[in-house]
Amino acid sequence: MFRDEVRLLKRENDDIARWMPEDDEDIIDKIIESLGVFRVNSFDAQVIRRDLIGMAEEARLRDSNMKEVIGDDIKLTTYDIIKNSRGANKHEVVLLYLKYLFGIAFAMISFFGFTINRTLMWDVNVLGLFSLALSATMFFLLAKLVRPLLNMEGWGRFGFYWTFFTGLSLVNPSWYAAVSTNFLDNPKLFIPGWYVLLISGLLYLVSDYFYRKNINKLAKGESDYFGNLTDDKED
Amino acid sequence: MIDRSQLMRGTLEGCILKIISEDETYGYEIVSKLQEYGFYDAKEGTIYPLLVRLEKKEIISSIYKESPLGPKRKYYFITKLGEEYLKEFVSVWNDVKYSVDRVLEGK
């Protein structure tokens, strides 16, 4: 399997960021959460986060802080970073969407299928599946497109809650429709639940594999940031 | 009022590249040098997007290295392409400077 450069960099960033003063962390989070996969690819976003954490570290050693380093206009800095970055990667957006789609389908159908029907041998409504796919699409767009835009406009945590609950309200009726045997009582509209579970699970794994492969491709040719950062630990 | 930072923004890229071409350097050092030269408004937050842009265009490259202060620091250095770009910038800047000077002096 491919190592996921984004996950490794994120873990490294999380470790380094632990010591940071809350105000500095808030500024960095605000910038990073405003980037979004539709504007900056995930690998570059983690490299940018590492750079910002580095700036905060240096500022702290000079008895300064991120507010002084960035200036008052965080939105302008974020906009400049987005404008000057390599931008989004369309393969990443598609593969991430597929991960959302199959991941949500697998999780929702297995969890609620078991809790409502209490057996492996339940049937899933096809129309409900389409509805679930539509909801997963909306959830993906809300989380990855709308939320970063709201964040950039200063919505902060309120933007997160708004996105989360709007997404949930869309997904909620869909899973019920997908697993409910009472929904449109036409036998032709039902397919075995285990069949959907198997397909969605497999497709999730396939999209995850290609997602990692694509991230690796994005990282290729760039400086080996993770390698640079972890030299000491490997020595 | 003239927005000084807006006026400077276009030329800052070339100045940053010139500083990096002298020796490999890091963000805060670039800012300090720019301030010494009179770019008093320069901050790391201002120059960072430009460094991202220069790196994207493969004009500069970077590596994380140990710093005497402790945490690893991102050092920037100029590439072959960057050296060509810098020569071009100096040439274009001299042309622009010459023209603007002539306009302002009314020659």
Q: Which residue has the tokens 């198997």?
A: A198
Closest by Cα among B44, B6, B41, B8 to B25: B44
CB contact under 8 A, A225 and B49: no
> Which residues on adjacent β-strands are paired with residue A150?
none
The number of CA neighbours under 13 Å toward the Cβ of B39 is 23
pLDDT at A231: 57
CB within 8 Å of B36: residues ≥ 6 apart:
none
Does B61 contact chain A (CB < 8 Å)? yes
Of B32 and B7, more confident: B32
DSSP per residue over A171-227, as a string? HHHHHHHHH-TTSS--GGGEEEHHHHHHHHHHHHHHHHHHHHHHHHHHHTTS--HHH
Under the banding of pLDDT at 50, 70 and 90, the label for residue B34 is very high
- Which regions of chain A are under pLDDT 50? 233-235
Q: Do A58 and B43 touch (CB under 8 A)?
A: no
Q: What is the CATH number of domain B4-105?
A: 1.10.10.10
Neighbours of A193 (CB within 10 A): 21
Q: Using the 8-state DSSP alphabet, how is residue A142 labeled?
A: I
Collect all residues of chain B within an 8 Å Cβ-Cβ radius of residue A223: 61-64
- A61 to B74: CB separation less than 8 angstroms, yes or no: no
Q: B61: nearest CA in chain A?
A: A223
Say yes or no: A15 contacts chain B, CB-CB below 8 A: no
ipTM value greater than 0.85: no
Closest Cα to residue A189, out of A199, A198, A197, A179? Answer: A179
- Which pLDDT score is estimated for A229? 56
Give B92 or A130, the one with higher predicted confidence: B92
pTM of the model: 0.81
Tell me the domain boundaries of chain B: 4-105
Residues contacting A9, CB < 8 A, separation 6+: A43, A46, A47, A49, A50, A225, A226, A229
